[in-house]
Amino acid sequence: MTFDYPVVVHCEAGSFWVSCPDIPEMASAGDTVDEALFDAVDALESAISLYIDQRKAIPLPSPRQQDQVLVRLPALSAAKAALWNIMTEQKVTKTELARRLGVNRPQVDRLVDLLHRSKIEQVEHALQVLGQRIELAVVAA
């Protein structure tokens, strides 16, 4: 499960803005393309947080088209998004995951909060409890 989203860069009146067909709630802007794409990561994390707040599964990225650029979630955010989608798929509530982990519910709230900087080991443990594991790969950019 990857969270590399294809986005469209728009130019309007000398400014640039970015939209994401898979996550329509995401939008970022900048004076340059690079600035708009840099801000797109934060915008994507914020938009994905809305799905979690609304208790909905996070849409997975569609294949990239020729006119699109990829925006990648940081590793921790991608792990949290995967955790949320697996919880949704398995119909495991935050309360149930807290019980399985032997922690309080607020700790699970933070594990699926993309804007909270949890330790990756905690997310990895939660995934393991759900029968999943993280695989990490480093590739040329």
What architecture is domain 4-72?
Answer: 2-Layer Sandwich (3.30)
Report helix, strand or coil for 97: helix
Whether this model's pTM surpasses 0.85: yes
pLDDT, tens digit, 9 for 90 and up, residues 83-94: 999 999 999 999
How remote is the C-alpha of 39 from its chain's centroid?
A: 14
Q: Cα separation of 89 and 91, whole Å? A: 5
DSSP 8-state secondary structure symbol assigned to residue 61: P
Map out the domains of the chain as residue ranges: 4-72, 75-129
pLDDT for 1 equals 80
